[in-house]
Amino acid sequence: MKYYKKIVGEKIYLSPVNPDDYEIYTKWLNDISLTKNLGAHRLLISEISEKEKLVEMSKSNTNDYAIVTKENDRLIGNCSLMNIDYINRTAEFGIFIGDEENRNRGLGTEAAKLLLEFGFRVLNLHNIMLRVFSFNEAAVKSYTKAGLKEFGRRTGSQILNGKYYDEIYMEALSDTFKSDYLLPVLPE
């Protein structure tokens, strides 16, 4: 597959999505161990619908990125800035690492830092938030390492396997966020 180094970190880079990756996305988005964390475990994703979605994402001028390893140019996940409001300088952030073998290795944390830094330094955003379910403790830890802080909860908003879980709201602000991946390529 072809990838382009739009935003480069130490171990990974963010590239525009490639519609030819529809098969791996379809595999990932039908894996309950992954999609339960996204609140999408009830959905059935077909190759046709995923290919159409990736084609649409690649045509539009959105901030949807493939997460790719620098070592071997291997697709490992996806991250996005959504609902961007350039007047109020806000956005929402979403991310997933596809295969289990690539989770809990710091790659998601690095991807989050890269995209947050891009949002703050290049898109001039001030507040970027995300939502995460309380049972996804590894993600909460990763987001905290990336510089996000909890600012609220929606209690018992997700039911899974007969148990209620909170939806945690986390945010990063431009004036307190720390990351220097982009400094070498931006003017001082």
* pLDDT tens digits, 132-175: 999 999 999 999 999 999 999 999 999 988 999 999 999 999 99
Cα end-to-end distance, the chain, whole Å: 35
CB atoms within 10 A of CB 84: 16
* pLDDT tens digits, 96-131: 898 888 888 999 999 999 999 999 999 999 999 999
Residue from 9, 4, 5 nearest 183 by CA: 9
Token representation of residue 52: 């159409």
Predicted local distance difference test score (pLDDT) of residue 3: 92
pLDDT band at 49 (very low <50, low <70, confident <90, very high): confident
Mean per-residue pLDDT for 79-105?
A: 93
Predicted local distance difference test score (pLDDT) of residue 24: 86
* pLDDT tens digits, 54-65: 888 887 767 999
Q: Phi, psi (5° rounding) for residue 106?
A: 85, 0
Q: Is the pLDDT of residue 1 over 70?
A: no
Domain 7-185: assigned CATH number? 3.40.630.30
Predicted local distance difference test score (pLDDT) of residue 139: 93
Q: Is the pLDDT of residue 20 over 80?
A: yes
Select the more confidently predicted residue: 129 or 20. Answer: 129
Rg (CA), the chain: 16
Predicted local distance difference test score (pLDDT) of residue 42: 62
Predicted local distance difference test score (pLDDT) of residue 29: 82
Average pLDDT, the chain: 90
Q: Measured between alpha carbons, how far is 34 from 97 in angstroms, rounded to an integer?
A: 8
CB distance 46 to 98 below 8 Å:
no
Catalytic residue ranges: 143
Q: Return the bridge partners of 78, or none.
A: 66, 96
Predicted local distance difference test score (pLDDT) of residue 32: 79
Domain borders along the chain are 7-185
Question: What strand order describes the sheet that includes 163-173?
Answer: 7-8, 12-16, 63-69, 75-85, 90-97, 127-133, 163-173, 149-160
Predicted local distance difference test score (pLDDT) of residue 101: 86
pLDDT band at 43 (very low <50, low <70, confident <90, very high): low
